[in-house]
Amino acid sequence: MTEFTWRALFIGLPLTLILGAANAYLGLRAGVTIAATYPAAVISMAVLRMFRGSILEENIARTAGSIGESVAAGAIFTLPAFV
């Protein structure tokens, strides 16, 4: 049973883009970000359950989804300090 599959990546990439953009907007607008791990976990679990995905695939999709939050938070709080 493999965990790094194309299906997990195709689910994780849109989560990364959507949750990262939402966190960037919220961080710039309100000065606070949210933990995107929980929404990414719930969404990836729901989608992968429909396609009979494994728990290992859910872990990769959740991790890929939560990367967007970390990158957005790092960018919106660090880059303005350099400008």
**Is residue 58 assigned to a domain?**
yes
Taken in order 72, 78, 80, 83, the sign of the CA dihedral is negative
- Domain span at residue 37? 6-82
- C-alpha distances in Å from residue 22, one per residue of 32, 36, 67, 72: 11, 10, 13, 9
The mean per-residue pLDDT over the stretch 59-67 comes to 90
**Is residue 64 assigned to a domain?**
yes
Residue 64 has pLDDT above 70, yes or no: yes
Domain count, the chain: 1
- pTM comes to 0.82
CA distance 29 to 43: 25
What's residue 1's pLDDT? 63
Residue 74 has pLDDT above 70, yes or no: yes
CA distance 11 to 43: 9
Best CA proximity match to 34, nearest among 65, 80, 3, 78? 65
11-55 pLDDT, tens digit each = 999 999 999 999 999 998 998 888 888 999 999 999 989 988 888
What's residue 80's pLDDT? 81
